[in-house]
Amino acid sequence: MPTAEPAAFPVTAAPSAESLEGRDVLTLADFTGAELRAILDRAHQLKDLQRRREPHRWLEGRTLAMIFEKPSLRTRCTFETGMTQLGGHAIDLASEHMQMGSRESVPDVARNLERWVDAIMARVYLHATVVTLAQHASVPVINGLSDYSHPCQIMADLMTVEEWKGSLQGLKISYVGDGFNIANSLLFAAGALGLELHIATPPDYEPREDVVTRARRAARQTGARIEVYHDPRAAADGAEVIYTDSWISMGQESERADRLRVFPPYQVNGALVSLARPEVMVMHCLPAHRGEEITDEVMDGRHSAVFDQAENRLHTQKAILTLVMKGR
């Protein structure tokens, strides 16, 4: 299913950071730095409880509906496992059963689900789909991935950086590759939290201009440094974090031949990593196309944090679930 260029989605007005109860999680642009910090703190707390095998069934009796238009390994497993560990239940609504948008309209799906469940997670092609779900459902809607934003992934990534580096502040974080949903969400997070973010993409594959503008607007308040350019070596030079993503995302398969001609200089390989700091961490949100955007040498090497990121999807999503459903 092809993706479409979404509109410049409005930022939701944010209440105080003291409570995220009832909030939708569609894009990190909707959250303040204090609110993102609250999610990270809760995620670290929940991971510690899990490691110590201390029960934390904070969502006893709650139900999460999970909508999947796209295939999923990490999103499905981590949300379902997370709800189980929190004492709740997750329902997997596979696309072949729902046929959302054809058999039943998106608003009608939202109006049905809000009568039965306590929150909705949706992994979709078009960002407009999660926006519509949120507009018509009275329960929180969580974006499990869209063509515009991947907020849960970036929260897991920020948690992973804190574990490896001790802090998010003072680091040169560099993203090399396609300026798609991961790059968008990194921009929103960097702007809100006051981070230094460098994004290097091929010409014509930059992040959306409205996303960069919104991130830089936030940066004026937080002191973030945001740079977007085309030179992957400049991005890697002195970096403490190098992040990449697939060159061909789901829905872009028709562009494969063109992209494989354009993106090879942006491969994260030993030569690129050698330009970074000696203790650089390398990140990828997975699934990885080994030999394309990242080499085996790097992905399986000592700098790789990719499976830590995957693990932390569980903990950050549990944090989000407990906060928006007020599980404690």
Torsion of CA 201, 204, 205, 208, to 10 degrees: 110
The total of structural domains in the chain comes to 2
* 3 belongs to a structural domain: no
Q: Does 123 participate in catalysis according to the annotation?
A: yes
* 202 belongs to a structural domain: yes
* 38 belongs to a structural domain: yes
Catalytic hit among 150, 198, 259, 303? 150
Give me the domain span that covers residue 226. 153-309
Cβ atoms of 174 and 243 closer than 8 Å: yes
Please tell me whether residues 81 and 218 are part of one structural domain. no
Please tell me whether residues 101 and 181 are part of one structural domain. no
Q: Does 150 participate in catalysis according to the annotation?
A: yes
Report the predicted TM-score, pTM, of the whole model to 2 decimal places.
0.92
Q: Does 285 participate in catalysis according to the annotation?
A: yes
Please tell me whether residues 209 and 258 are part of one structural domain. yes
* 140 belongs to a structural domain: yes
Please tell me whether residues 68 and 131 are part of one structural domain. yes
* 11 belongs to a structural domain: no
Rounded to whole angstroms, the Cα distance separating 253 from 255 reads 5
By DSSP bridging, strand 89-94 and strand 119-123 are: unpaired
Catalytic hit among 74, 123, 284, 315? 123
* 84 belongs to a structural domain: yes
Please tell me whether residues 264 and 301 are part of one structural domain. yes
DSSP string, 95-137: HHHH-BTTTB-HHHHHHHHTTT-SEEEEE-S-HHHHHHHHHH-
Cβ atoms of 217 and 228 closer than 8 Å: no
Q: Does 233 participate in catalysis according to the annotation?
A: no
Please tell me whether residues 97 and 189 are part of one structural domain. no
Please tell me whether residues 143 and 168 are part of one structural domain. no
Q: Does 259 participate in catalysis according to the annotation?
A: no
One pLDDT digit (tens) per residue for the chain, 328 residues: 333 444 555 544 444 445 899 999 999 999 999 999 999 999 999 999 999 999 999 999 999 999 999 889 999 999 999 999 999 999 999 766 677 766 789 999 999 999 999 999 999 999 999 999 999 999 999 999 999 999 999 999 999 999 999 999 999 999 999 999 999 999 999 999 999 999 999 999 999 999 999 999 999 999 999 999 999 999 999 999 999 999 987 677 788 899 999 999 999 999 999 999 999 999 999 999 999 999 999 999 999 999 999 999 999 999 999 999 986 6
CATH of the domain at 53: 3.40.50.1370
